[in-house]
Structure 1
Amino acid sequence: MPINVLVVDDSPFFQRRLREMLDECADLNVVGVAANGREAVAMTKNLRPDVITMDYEMPVMDGVSAVRQIMAEQPTPILMFSSLTYEGARITLDALDAGAVDFLTKDFAEASAHAPTLKQTLHDRIMTICARQVRAPVAPARAIQPALLRDRVKLLLLGASTGGPVALSEVLAQLPENFPLPIVLVQHMPENFTRPFAERLDATARVRVREAQDGDILVAGTALLAPGGKQLMLDRLGRVRILPGDERVNYRPSLDITFGSAANAFADQVLAVVLTGMGSDGCEGARLIKQNGGFVWSQDQASCVVDGMPMAVARAGLTDRVLSLSDIGATLAREL
């Protein structure tokens, strides 16, 4: 059966383009179109869609308020549309905190050009966030003695994609102010989103958080967030290198690239944690970390928004420990 989609947008142009793109997908069905958040709340109750696409700036009731009310009254997966501005990024992060699952950037030029790439991206994102897959259990990971981690690990890496903003916030909130390791964060995000995201994390975490800059030195108790649209690498002197994003690489920033550089620079002194996200970014980087004697943890399936990335690592036999999101931060604080 097709997935039923409710489109929420105050722009007649975007209403029409989204409906056209979705109607071209045989496994998607547009059940309704709402022009503001209040209509979206009412139509969600009446139509019970499988997923909602939601604009953030609308009259009567804005997108964030609508997300908050829908998640309280009729929880439904919501995909936000956002502008690439700083303010657009801030509002999108508010929507993710309110319960939206993921977001796509809103580009009038791309939508006007009838770009097949946008249609495919929209289709794939909807299918992923609506998926309810039953997977075979992963073999238990081998136990690692806490003393071994404390004695060896000198760098903590946290990587995420879909669902990551909330997951990273929860993990960092459980770390103490005097956390003894430097932290590098890699979250799939476009340019202009990572600076407000770092500011948000810094306001809620006890460790310091900021967007990484080229030449930064790793410091214990400070988390550096990879800039959107670029790649973050580490050198053997513990310095951060920010490189332009290569169009041939799907993710900018990429867990694989940061993890791989950390494995080369820090050998067996790395602990990488792969959190919620679609795809398999991080798997090859985790392989390099393991080959160099480092450690890899992954978030469990039940607590992921999308379990593609952590499950790829686990199924490759690279995970030392599988943990629920609620346990990751506390375990890091206790054992490191």
Structure 2
Amino acid sequence: MPASPIAVLLVEDSPVALMILKRILAGSSEIEVVGVAQNGIEALEMIPKLQPKVICTDLNMPKMSGLELTRRVMAECPRPILVISASVDQQDDAQNVFQLLQAGALDVFPKPTVELLSEYEQIKHELITKIKIIAGVSVFTQHPGMRNKELVIKNSKRPENEELNPHQVNPYTFSNVRSTLPRVIAIGASTGGPQALFTILKSLPANFPIPILCVQHISVGFLDGLVGWLSTECQLRIVIARAGDVPQPGIVYFAPDHYHLQLDQQGRIALSSDVPVSGHRPSISMTFQAVANYYRQASLGILLTGMGRDGAEGLLAIARAGGTTIAQDEQSCIVFGMPKEAIALGAAQQILPIGEIAPKLLKQCLRQ
């Protein structure tokens, strides 16, 4: 028998946005909108009756906001939540979007508008894909006051192969692996990345002695909000990379929208508008490859949660150059796709839970 469609509850107070969302989702036989609420209070009343698999919510709504709704859902009836918000232009609201992720929502998506209908097919594909991805994620109760790192989120699928010891070194042999201390850290992430990055970066001190280059797959327009949110939560300085920047210790550089983050022959940041790689620009693998080419054995690559395979080949390039490579383990990933691909290639020398990556970095890098 064919699988039942994914039951979705829409929480949105704008009639126009609601009309567009319903039209988009009606175009997929794999999704069924089972209910519509205009605010969080209405949504909480509907959830026990409708039992939606996924909740799509706006941020700013009357009576009960998306943030309060997310907190209540995660405490009382946890299930995957996708934030669909127009709050990408105002810095305060953009940061508030990421507070929903901190509260337990899984991903963000820009609210479709009439002005964007020219890009209707692309928006439709991206939104339906996001809903299908997060529908396969198991979420667990997050009580009020629970610290972010205590929120347990994992992929609902069981490992297909033998269970991996998260602490074991991958048996793949790299003939040029050395004990060189890293001079740069490169991190790549996709779905679930903001939460994973928060866990890592919040644990690092302001005087961390190594620059960090980050590539986060995220809907266009949300990067400024992500950087602003992390900046308020972390001691490190967090910026969007600019061409010509020389990576400095204690600074986290994010690849900007629409550009690959690379390095020139002098080690300065270079931004490229070359074609997307595996559908992504910025591409994680492009940045990892640039780091491997310039820093060689002094590079350290980390591949975090995300769908697809971007980053797997790049992590292998770092390993082959003699650098250190880490993949997030399945149990702590929201989506295990990218780390799984890297592990299958033999690119991950270490496979660690998200909570153990920052302590590993501190132990290895503060020796300098």
| TM-score between both structures, scaled by the size of structure 2 | 0.83
- Per the alignment, residue 93 of structure 1 pairs with 98
* Distance apart, 1:276 and its partner CA: 1.0
Aligned residue identity for 2:263:
L
1:17 aligns with 2:44: no
CA 1:139 to 1:73, structure 2 compared with 1: closer, same or farther past 3 Å? closer
Match 1:29 to one of 24, 32, 39: 32
- Per the alignment, residue 43 of structure 1 pairs with 46
For 2:316 and 2:115, locate their aligned partners in 1 and report how far apart those are by CA, in whole Å: 37
1:265 aligns with 2:294: yes
Aligned residue identity for 2:42:
E
For 1:308 and 1:64, locate their aligned partners in 2 and report how far apart those are by CA, in whole Å: 28
The answer as to whether partners of 2:20 and 2:113 remain within 8 angstroms in 1 is no
Question: What are the within-5 Å matches in structure 2 for residues 243-262 of structure 1?
Answer: 243-244=272-273, 246=275, 250-262=279-291
For 2:90 and 2:271, locate their aligned partners in 1 and report how far apart those are by CA, in whole Å: 20
For 1:6 and 1:236, locate their aligned partners in 2 and report how far apart those are by CA, in whole Å: 51
Match 1:58 to one of 58, 61, 65: 61
CA 1:196 to 1:80, structure 2 compared with 1: closer, same or farther past 3 Å? closer
CA 1:110 to 1:2, structure 2 compared with 1: closer, same or farther past 3 Å? farther
Q: Which moved more, 1:21-30 or 1:269-278?
A: 21-30
The answer as to whether partners of 1:8 and 1:36 remain within 8 angstroms in 2 is yes
* Distance apart, 1:228 and its partner CA: 2.3
For 1:312 and 1:130, locate their aligned partners in 2 and report how far apart those are by CA, in whole Å: 21
Q: Aligned with 1:223: secondary structure?
A: strand
The answer as to whether partners of 1:194 and 1:226 remain within 8 angstroms in 2 is no
1:70 aligns with 2:73: yes
Q: Which moved more, 1:236-245 or 1:54-63?
A: 236-245
Runs of 4+ in 1 over 6 A off after TM superposition: none
* Distance apart, 1:117 and its partner CA: 2.7
Match 1:133 to one of 151, 157, 161: 157
- Per the alignment, residue 109 of structure 1 pairs with 114
Match 1:300 to one of 329, 341, 345: 329
For 2:253 and 2:184, locate their aligned partners in 1 and report how far apart those are by CA, in whole Å: 12
Cα deviations by residue, 1:179-203 (Å, 9 ceiling, x for unpaired):
2221111111244432332232233
Can you give the 5+ residue segments of structure 2 that lack an aligned partner in the other structure? Answer: 137-155, 172-176
Number of aligned residue pairs:
333
- Per the alignment, residue 2 of structure 1 pairs with 5
* Distance apart, 1:57 and its partner CA: 2.1
* Distance apart, 1:112 and its partner CA: 4.0
Cα deviations by residue, 1:282-334 (Å, 9 ceiling, x for unpaired):
01211222222222111011111111111111111111000001111111111
1:242 aligns with 2:266: no
Matched-pair identity in %: 35
Identify the structure with the greater helix proportion.
1
The answer as to whether partners of 2:108 and 2:219 remain within 8 angstroms in 1 is no
CA 1:247 to 1:302, structure 2 compared with 1: closer, same or farther past 3 Å? closer
Can you give the 5+ residue segments of structure 1 that lack an aligned partner in the other structure? Answer: none
